[in-house]
């Protein structure tokens, strides 16, 4: 009952904070104003935030009694997108927008901190507030972990506002939730020449075009049809003029899976097919393969605690089932070390929240945010009980 009262108490503040952060979107790893504003708000609560991984922040709320440490995590970066929502509190940083709702995550974690401070007598152990930079480029979680953010942590809870779910619902299912997300880059080297005399050159553009097609067979011919996997080429650059044979070309793409064994199949298969396809056209390639975040996988026991917590603070009907997604999330890096749960909070309410994540029209039903904060608080208390 008390958490419900606190949800109402901090509701306006959470929404106000979300709008404040929405105005100042910043790119991954460069969340300077965002970080300063979070610090200021944590200090005002009487907490002592520590810097980590550049713009990241960590603050500890110690309970009245000894016990387990629960980490609550928010990301804080925005996207290089020009906002088109027309909201009164829209982005003041031209060309940048909180189009993935990380502004809402910050506001919810600050709200959770407020509630936890009021509930300090009930905390057994501690709660670590993690404000992590650079989620969108998968660099932030790893950097925070390398600097020790998970020391003595027993569980971690994270949450994402999700346009695919209706307001008032939340998904906290166990098992694989989001795919591993890796990124790769292929430079193709040919030999430039005149378009009228192609035989004197080596056409990198032709090799690239063949590669775009042949790489599709990694998923269709090499990965078990029973295992989800996806390979997408998002970038192909080649050529300058109609009568010039391109001497180089460039491709970049992403590969995703849930099963780590499938994930490991990709780099070798991409390299082999790219090398041999290019060779068939007398061209050469250089592959750079970057492993991003692994798959988000929710621990069954943590999921159960989160589901009970969601029922308590959002109502019996709140937890819903949601199909896992091939989107990626570096929350998975924390889950490699400590058991945890990543929740998807519904934000769709008619027209509001109808646009997908990363859309320049992205909006959300703000009235759900205090409840998202309350679920995090309830999870922390129930995990320690
Ligand atoms: Ni996001």
3-state SS, one letter per residue, for the chain: CHHHHHHHHHHHHHHHHHHHHHCCCCCCCCCHHHHHHHHHHHHHCCCCCEEECCCEEEEEEECCEEEEEEEEEEECCCECCCCCCCCCCCCCCCCCECCCCHHHHHHHHHHHHHHHHHCHHHCEEEEEEEEECCCCCCCHHHHHHHCCCCCCCCEEEEEEEEEEEECCCEECCCEEEECEEEEEEEEEECECEECCCHHHCECHHHHHHHHHHHCCHHHHHHCCCCCCEEEEEEEEEECCCCCEECCEEEEEEEEEECCHHHHHHHHHHHHHHHHHHHHHCCCEEEEEEEEEECCEEECHHHHHHHHHHHHHHHCCCCECCCCCECCCCCHHHHHCCCCEEEEEEEEEECCECCCCCCCCCCCCCHHHHHHHHHHHHHHHHHHHC
Distance 249 CA to ligand 1 centre (A): 31
Distance 257 CA to ligand 1 centre (A): 18
180-292 under CATH 3.30.70.360, yes or no: yes
* Domain residue spans of the chain: 2-179+295-384, 180-292
Ion ligand 1: residues, CB within 5 A, are 100
How high is the pLDDT of residue 354? Answer: 87
Across the chain, mean pLDDT equals 97
How high is the pLDDT of residue 1? Answer: 59
| Segments in the chain below pLDDT 70 | 1
Distance 102 CA to ligand 1 centre (A): 6
Distance 332 CA to ligand 1 centre (A): 13
- Assigned CATH class of 2-179+295-384: alpha beta
pTM higher than 0.85: yes
How high is the pLDDT of residue 353? Answer: 86
Distance 101 CA to ligand 1 centre (A): 6
Distance 79 CA to ligand 1 centre (A): 9
């Amino acid at each position: 009952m008390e958490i419900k009262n606190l949800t109402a108490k901090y509701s306006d503040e959470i929404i106000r904070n979300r709008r404040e952060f929405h105005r100042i979107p910043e790119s991954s790893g460069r969340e300077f104003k965002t970080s300063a504003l979070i610090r200021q708000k944590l200090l005002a609560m009487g907490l002592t935030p520590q810097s980590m991984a550049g713009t990241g922040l960590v603050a500890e709320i110690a309970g009245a009694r000894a016990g387990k440490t629960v980490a609550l995590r928010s990301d804080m970066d925005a996207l290089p997108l020009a906002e088109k929502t027309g909201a009164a509190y829209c982005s003041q940083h031209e060309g940048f927008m909180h189009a993935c709702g990380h502004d809402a995550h910050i506001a919810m974690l600050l709200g959770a901190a407020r509630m936890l401070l009021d509930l300090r007598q009930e905390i057994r152990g501690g709660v670590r507030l993690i404000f992590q930079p650079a989620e969108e480029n998968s660099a932030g979680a790893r950097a925070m972990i390398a600097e020790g953010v998970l020391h003595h942590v027993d569980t971690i809870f994270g949450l994402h506002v999700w346009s695919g779910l209706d307001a008032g619902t939340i998904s906290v299912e166990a098992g694989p939730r989001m795919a591993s997300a890796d990124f790769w880059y292929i430079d193709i080297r040919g030999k430039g020449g005149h378009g009228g005399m192609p035989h004197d050159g080596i056409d990198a553009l032709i090799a690239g075009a063949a590669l775009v097609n042949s790489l599709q067979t990694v998923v269709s011919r090499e990965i078990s049809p029973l295992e989800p996997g996806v390979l997408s080429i998002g970038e192909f650059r080649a050529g300058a003029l109609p009568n010039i044979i391109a001497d180089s070309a460039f491709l970049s793409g992403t590969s995703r899976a849930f099963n780590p064994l499938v994930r490991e199949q990709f780099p070798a298969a991409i390299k082999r097919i790219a090398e041999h396809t290019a060779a068939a056209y007398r061209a050469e390639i250089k592959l750079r393969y970057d492993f991003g975040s692994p798959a988000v996988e929710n621990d069954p026991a943590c999921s159960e605690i989160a589901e009970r917590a969601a029922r308590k603070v959002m109502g019996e009907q709140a937890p819903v089932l949601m199909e896992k997604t091939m989107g990626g999330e570096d929350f998975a890096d924390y889950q490699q070390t400590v058991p945890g749960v990543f929740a998807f909070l519904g934000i769709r309410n008619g027209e509001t929240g109808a646009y997908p994540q990363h859309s320049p029209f992205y909006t959300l039903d703000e009235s759900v945010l205090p409840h998202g904060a309350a679920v995090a608080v309830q999870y922390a208390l129930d995990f320690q009980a």
